[in-house]
Amino acid sequence: MFATMIDLHTHSIFSDGELIPAELIRRAVKLGYEALAITDHMDQSNIDFIIPRIIKAVDAIQPYVSMTLLPGAEITHVPPPLIPDIVKEAYKLGAKIVIVHGETIVEPVIEGTNRAAIEAGADIIAHPGLITHDDLLFAKEKAVALEISARKGHSLANGHVARWTSLLDVSTVINTDAHSPSDLITIESAYKILLASGKDKSALEQIFKYSRYLVEKALRR
């Protein structure tokens, strides 16, 4: 199994996280992370403000750490018809990883958000909740990954996501959705969360291979 954590969904003070990017990065380094994406919450009001600042921090710090750093975005609570354009804008502004805040069962996310995220070609649907069979198949067709979440609340639907992504062979990743220092996890914790969600032990290596593939894809953008 892989010995290092890849986390493609975290937050800094540029949205509702507690840490500035430099401290978030430092804490991930100390936990032995292989790659980290900073993906703050965004909509039309702040996307052009946040992404350039995350890029500035990442570009300054990357030469001093061995961990791969990726500036990203989490498109959050945007009406589904507007998601394709804002996903395109995020990439145009320089985001390397674009996540859409999926239909978690603990927030009033608009129905149809998961579908719109897939159509928009986002990299990952975060905490997709009780995602439908049709949307699972669509995600597979469009090579959009679904997230197993380490975050309290969002993780309540992990069993549903794990079961159906396994049955339908849909690409899966595990992320922390970290907002505070205590939300970051070790690779050992990631394995336990995946197993507790219902993922078979034999599937764990493939999950981290896909996370690594997303990192490599992001670096080519």
Instruction: Return the CATH number at 92.
Output: 3.20.20.140
Contacts of 68 by beta carbon, 8 Å cutoff, 6+ apart: 34, 35, 36, 215, 219
Tokens of 204: 């764990």
Q: What distance in Å separates the CA atoms of residue 174 and residue 5, rounded to the nearest whole number?
A: 9
Mean pLDDT confidence for 40-59? 98
Q: What distance in Å separates the CA atoms of residue 199 and residue 120, rounded to the nearest whole number?
A: 27
| Cα of 31 vs its chain's centroid, Å | 18
Residue 75: domain span:
5-219
- The 10s digit of each residue's pLDDT in 54-73 is 999 999 999 999 999 999 99
Residue 64 CB coordination number (10 Å): 8
Query: How many structural domains does the chain have?
Result: 1
| The pLDDT of residue 1 | 55
Question: What is the average pLDDT score of the chain?
Answer: 97
| The pLDDT of residue 66 | 96
Tokens of 156: 């309540």
Tokens of 185: 């996890």
- The 10s digit of each residue's pLDDT in 93-114 is 999 999 999 999 999 999 999 9
Nearest to 112 by CA among 124, 99, 129, 97: 129
What residue has token string 């067709």?
Answer: 141
User: Which strand (E) or helix (H) includes residue 26?
Assistant: helix 21-30
Q: What distance in Å separates the CA atoms of residue 204 and residue 137, rounded to the nearest whole number?
A: 21
| The pLDDT of residue 117 | 98
- The 10s digit of each residue's pLDDT in 77-98 is 999 999 999 999 999 999 999 9
Q: Mutual orientation of helices 187-197 and 204-219 as an angle, nearest 10°?
A: 120
Q: Mutual orientation of helices 187-197 and 158-168 as an angle, nearest 10°?
A: 80
**Per-residue pLDDT band at 2 (split at 50, 70, 90):** low
What residue has token string 């949205």?
Answer: 15
- The 10s digit of each residue's pLDDT in 152-186 is 999 999 999 999 999 999 999 999 999 999 999 99
| The pLDDT of residue 196 | 98
